[in-house]
Amino acid sequence: MPESFKSIEFKNDKLVLINQTKLPLEEEYIATDNPERIAQAIEKLEVRGAPAIGIAAAYALALCFKNFNGNTQERFERCYKRLASTRPTAVNLFMALDELKKTFLESQNSQDLYSALLERAKELHEEDIKMCEAIAENGLSIFKKKSTVLTHCNTGQLATGGNGTAFNVIKKGFEEGKVEFVYVDETRPLLQGSRLTAFELGKAGIPFAIITDSTAGMLMKDGKIDLAITGADRIAINGDSANKIGTYGVAALCKFHNIPFYIAAPMSTVDFDCKNGDEIKIEFRAKEEITRIKGVPVTRDDYGVYSPAFDVTPAELIKGVITDKGIFHLPFNFTK
């Protein structure tokens, strides 16, 4: 029996987030009206996934004006800058902050600036819920038979304001009898696959198995994968897509084994100011995320570490990008 949960919710004038760093062993929730605490949650990956980051940041920017009576312009600029510094690769973060900026400029002299900003944050949240459902509906056509799917990282409810992007396509496919099994990469170094996607697959009642990232190629060689689908944190207008480190490897393996590789993301993830993947800024993470697991050393801390959070998959490796506006193929003529 599928189990329901909410990963991000605005309730009792506070933002309530499930602490993703504790999953799947513990379901702990963070309830706060402190914008700095939300910024820290984004940085610590307590909330993660490009759409969810944007929604959390929008609520945080609104909360900057809860019970505030000082210089609104100075306050806005400081809060905007702080939140913008949290995760530079996620285009949704800047989209959400800029939407709140528009509302701020329109309502700056309002008697209740907080309510105006909060209302816009709630609208963005609701829009994301609807986009997730549209992506899932549009994605059903990729399943040509009852399929075994490979996915990487986490793209479900934990990554969005709704039921997810790539995960929601898989979930809808399962409900329609088009998906029979899912292999989920553990997704090193932070194990978003084995911790988060596995948690969501279990909640949804979808049969699955966790694999190491390096197992995917063997499964493809043995004919056990019908298609692969992941999300994206930023998509250039030529189709080059940044996603969790390891995605490029999955896409390259799919190309070699003639397996369709898809990306699912809302149109808001397409950066129309970004020509190609070379222009995407890649975030680098602390070395301890590799040298330690849950704070426990697995190698020496004084060893050198190279730890990009994302890689860029070239457009020519992508069979299609599933969005709320439809499925786009090469040459990826995205439209706003």
Residue 93 contacts residue 70 (beta carbons within 8 Å): no
CA-based radius of gyration for the chain = 20
Interatomic CA distance for residues 138 and 328, integer angstroms: 11
Contact 99, 121 (CB under 8 A): no
Q: How far apart are CA 39 and CA 86, in angstroms?
A: 7
CA gap 329, 135 in Å, rounded: 15
Q: What's CA 272's distance to the chain center, in Å?
A: 19
Q: How far apart are CA 322 and CA 264, in angstroms?
A: 4
How far is it, in rounded angstroms, from Cα 42 to Cα 86? Answer: 6
Could you give the CA distance from residue 119 to residue 153 in angstroms, rounded to a whole number?
31
Between CA 282 and CA 277 the distance in angstroms is 10
| Residue carrying the six token digits 């995960």 | 167
Q: Out of 233, 240, 311, 324, pick the active-site residue.
A: 233
Burial of 202 per CB tally in 10 Å (0-12, 13-18, 19+): middle
Question: How many Å apart are CA 26 and CA 46, to the nearest integer?
Answer: 13
- In angstroms, rounded to a whole number, what is the distance separating the alpha carbons of residues 309 and 286? 10
- Which amino acid belongs to residue 18? I
**Does the active-site annotation cover 233?**
yes
Helices (H), 140-244: 166-175, 192, 198-204, 216-221
Q: How far apart are CA 57 and CA 160, in angstroms?
A: 12
How many whole angstroms separate alpha carbon 151 and alpha carbon 264?
11
185, 149 in Cβ contact below 8 A? Answer: no
* Residues identified as active-site: 233
